[in-house]
Amino acid sequence: MIYANLTSEEIKNLNKDHLVFVFPLGAIEQHGAHLPVDTDSRIVEAIAKKTEEKAPDKIIVLPTFSFGVAGGGYSGSITVSDREFKQIVLDVCKSILAQGFKKIFLLNGHGGNQSYVEDIATDLNVDFPYAVTIPLYLSGKRGTQALKKVGFKYWIRHADEIETSLMMAIDEKSVRKDKIVDETGLLKTKDYKPLDEGTLKLFLPWEYESKSGVYGEPSKATKEAGDFLFNEAAEELLDLITQFEKITKKIEKIEAERQSNNLASAAALESLENKPALPEEKAS
């Protein structure tokens, strides 16, 4: 189901225990000269919707939140502060939970959001199970194998062969093929890699990392690879959602046991308190 297409009454009558909300989180950020600034948002929304098509009875897709914590320094990028990003995403999730729904899957498509998305999931789980997040799409075992299969050596970098292939699959005309350039990091050393992938982490402004705004080899992108990866990303997400449901079932069982133990110990305490007092011993 697509949340935005439903009426208020239809939403009220949904099965609140069963449904898993997928909340796509993107960004508006420069993606080199060959990809549009909403690349991250478009990819993550398309993966969410494709996954929903595979299991429309259990998945409900929220409208994409397209503003993320983006790097400045290039024209076109729009950023929100990390505090505001967290607050807005939290508010949306709490609005969903306040209606009685229980399961939210935060699907992030932008590296700069990731640590904040993890914070949001942690915050939500203090009061309300269950939110979950993944470190970007294609990051599970299935995703890793799929990337190997198409011959891509690296995981998602920026405006790279993966994002470019996916955009060719999702909306080919949005890719300016004549503008594609490869770039693999201005400051790379043995232990330092752009996007803080190495052991040495500097969290530098992106314009020091890349002249073109690209990090990767988009010239290796193909529509065939994109079609395959797009479907694999949706299959992987469906599998992750199934695992998430299994975990929530186990949590419910643990919670039920805890509550019945609490009730049993409260009852035991009450019966002790209500016991008639022992007769006082008489002094001999």
Other beta carbons within 10 Å of 88: 14
Of 13, 45, 32, 48, the residue nearest 240 (C-alpha): 48
> Shortest distance, CB of residue 158 to Zn ion, whole angstroms?
6
Q: Long-range contacts: 122-125, Cβ < 8 Å, 24+? A: 123/86, 123/90, 124/90, 124/93, 124/94, 124/97
> Shortest distance, CB of residue 199 to Zn ion, whole angstroms?
23
Q: Two tokens at 140?
A: 């599970």
Nearer to Zn ion, 60 or 146 (CB): 146
Residue 155, amino acid: W
Residue 216 β-bridge partners: 183
Sketch the per residue contact string, 34 through 73, with Zn ion: x for CB under 5 A, - otherwise: ------x---------------------------------
Looking at residues 91 to 150 of the shown chain, list those that interact with Zn ion (rule: CB under 5 A). Answer: none
> Shortest distance, CB of residue 150 to Zn ion, whole angstroms?
18
> Shortest distance, CB of residue 205 to Zn ion, whole angstroms?
16
Establish if 217 lies at the interface with Zn ion (CB under 5 A).
no
Nearer to Zn ion, 130 or 137 (CB): 137
Closest residue to Zn ion using C-beta atoms: 40
CA gap 178, 180 in Å, rounded: 6
- 153 exposure class (CB count in 10 Å sphere: 0-12, 13-18, 19+): exposed
Nearer to Zn ion, 40 or 161 (CB): 40
Measure CA of the first residue to CA of the last residue in the chain; give whole Å: 82
> Shortest distance, CB of residue 101 to Zn ion, whole angstroms?
29
Nearer to Zn ion, 67 or 244 (CB): 67
Nearer to Zn ion, 40 or 183 (CB): 40
Query: Total residues at the site for Zn ion (CB under 5 A)?
Result: 1
Binding piece for Zn ion, criterion CB under 5 A, among 32-40, 58-66, 120-128, 185-193: 32-40
Whether 135 contacts 274, CB under 8 Å: no
- Residue 249 CB-half CA count within 13 A: 8
Name residue, tokens 């770039």: 183
Nearer to Zn ion, 102 or 158 (CB): 158
Binding residues vs Zn ion (CB under 5 A): 40
